[in-house]
Amino acid sequence: MKQGEEEKDQQAVNELKRQIYDQCWKIYKIRQDKSLPNNYEVARKIEESIRDGISEQELIKKNNELNKTADLR
């Protein structure tokens, strides 16, 4: 990890915790297999994906398409 990234990541985690608390979000799962949280950019991209509003049906369809592609290899 680059020097200073850990501090930036911790600041991002603290900000997300504040947002979670402010918006009454609930933590679904705590990953016990990771010693550090996701990088700030990963968390930001996940948040963007949530805002995109993809439906469950679209997600299932895309997953099926990707599985079929993987099976052809």
Domain ranges of the chain: 5-72
- Distance of alpha carbon 56 from alpha carbon 49, whole angstroms: 13
Tens of pLDDT, residue by residue over 23-73, are 666 667 777 787 777 777 888 888 888 888 888 888 889 889 988 887 776
- What is the rounded CA–CA span in Å between residue 73 and residue 27? 37
Flag whether the pTM goes above 0.85: no
Q: Is 39 exposed, middle or buried (0-12, 13-18, 19+ CB in 10 A)?
A: middle
State the pLDDT at residue 23.
67
> pLDDT value at position 34?
79
| CB-based contacts of 27, cutoff 8 Å, min separation 6 | 20
Report whether 40 contacts 15 (CB < 8 A).
Answer: no
Residue type, 28: Y
